[in-house]
Structure 1
Amino acid sequence: MIAYALYFAYFCFGSALLMNLWKVATAPDVVDRILALDTMVINSIALLILYGLTLGTEIFFEAAMIIAMLGFVSTVAYARFILRGNIIE
């Protein structure tokens, strides 16, 4: 039964990732693209965690934590670039 739930979750997060990719390609504004990229990071973290659950290993959880930290830093850097025009003062 858990296998069916995992397949359903793979389908949901995979389709959400594709929809975010479409939004990145067709968004009219830079802010919309940044939000779509941030959501893509969250969906890829969810897919990594699901894959780790499927295989039963902990290494994918650590990779998800690293990607979460990088996603947060990149979102903050994009936001600072939009607000101020530079990232490092």
Structure 2
Amino acid sequence: MTIQTVLIAVILVAFAIAAALTIVRIVVGPSILDRAVASDVLLTEVLCILGAEMVINQHTRSIPIMLIIAAVGVFGSISVARFVARRDQ
């Protein structure tokens, strides 16, 4: 076993556990803000996985995908914040 194989296994296990816990928080809730934060965390995990894949395979082809995912996360957070702010008034 090489160090790269061990590193990939550790990354996969860590991100799988984090994703499972995040999906549980999205399903359980209890509020819309909990679900919104959990979905942002899940998007961040996807970004980290793509970044780790780029480092392991030594390329930069995933950067446009990462930018789109980051933009979706930002706009989604802004939308939820505006929705909650209007609902509280």
* Residues 10, 50 of structure 1: 8 Å contact kept: no
Q: Runs of 5+ in structure 1 lacking a partner? A: none
Instruction: List, as ranges, runs of 4+ consecutive aligned residues in structure 1 with deviation greater than 4 Å.
Output: none
Alignment partner, residue 27 of structure 1: 29
User: What is the TM-score when the length of structure 1 is the normalising length?
Assistant: 0.83
Per-residue CA deviations over 1:20-53 (Å, capped at 9, x if unaligned) read: 0111011111111111111111111111111222
3-state SS, counterpart of residue 62 of structure 2: helix
Normalising by structure 2, we get a TM-score of 0.83
Cα separation, 1, equivalents of 2:18 and 2:40: 12
In structure 1, the residue matched to 2:39 is: 37
% of aligned pairs identical? 19
Q: What value does the CA root-mean-square deviation take over the aligned residues? A: 1.5
Structure 2 gaps of 5+ residues are: none
Structure 2 letter corresponding to 1:15? I
SS at match of 1:10: helix
Please give the alpha-carbon distance, in whole angstroms, between the structure 1 residues aligned to 2:16 and 2:67: 19
Number of residue pairs the alignment of both structures matches: 85
